[in-house]
Amino acid sequence: MPDSSVPTSAQAPAAAKTITDRLVEANREYAVTFKDGGMDARPVQKVAVVACMDARLDLFAALGLELGDSHIIRNAGGVVTDDTIRSLTISQRALGTSSVVLIHHTGCGLLGLTEDFRHELELEVGQRPQWAVEAFVDLDGDVRQSMQRVRTSPFLPHTDDVRGFVFDVHTGLLREIH
């Protein structure tokens, strides 16, 4: 605790704040000017974007998306897991989307990891994870694999408009994978 006789400096309270405290503060400011757009839960552009969780990838800015336009499904690598299919199924069947955009990116943290990661984890904690790491060495190939998983899913009624891209974290450009 700071000495109460010392005037509180600008740094003292900030040092005690966690990142989550800062996020909550930012939210209070956000809510001051927030306007309810009156949108419902169905994405206006009828699209679901599946992308890596990478911190350098600002999907709204990079794709010109507005609030309410799109579902955004993110995970490590932007890979199409069972849980991604779960979200896409709800997106299409309950919330009216019909297009899917998949985005991987250069410099991904999953590039260079291998399934050894799972083995090492098991050795360390004594429990084998149920999930696959979904690491890859071939970026383009993994985008194709992901597109294939979406296109062949029996749960998805809309698989005609499924496109995959690699986002370049240095240029900000998307490169389409065919």
Task: Point out which residues bind Zn ion (CB under 5 A).
Answer: 52, 54, 108
Dihedral sign, Cα of residue 29, residue 33, residue 36, residue 39? negative
Beta strand 174-177 with 161-167 is antiparallel
Identity of the residue, 88 or 108, whose beta carbon is nearer to Zn ion in the bound complex: 108
Identity of the residue, 49 or 108, whose beta carbon is nearer to Zn ion in the bound complex: 108
Range list of β-strands (E), the chain: 47-52, 70-75, 99-105, 161-167, 174-177
* CA–CA gap between residue 162 and residue 178 (Å, rounded): 11
User: Closest distance between Zn ion and the C-beta of residue 60, in Å?
Assistant: 17
Half-sphere exposure of 33 (CA within 13 A, CB side): 3
Does residue 102 contact residue 147 with C-beta atoms inside 8 Å? yes
Known binding-site residues for Zn(2+) equal 52, 54, 105, 108
User: Closest distance between Zn ion and the C-beta of residue 143, in Å?
Assistant: 12
User: Closest distance between Zn ion and the C-beta of residue 55, in Å?
Assistant: 9
Element housing 140 (H / E): helix 139-151
Identity of the residue, 131 or 155, whose beta carbon is nearer to Zn ion in the bound complex: 131
Identity of the residue, 54 or 142, whose beta carbon is nearer to Zn ion in the bound complex: 54
Known binding-site residues equal 52, 54, 105, 108
Dihedral sign, Cα of residue 155, residue 160, residue 166, residue 169? negative
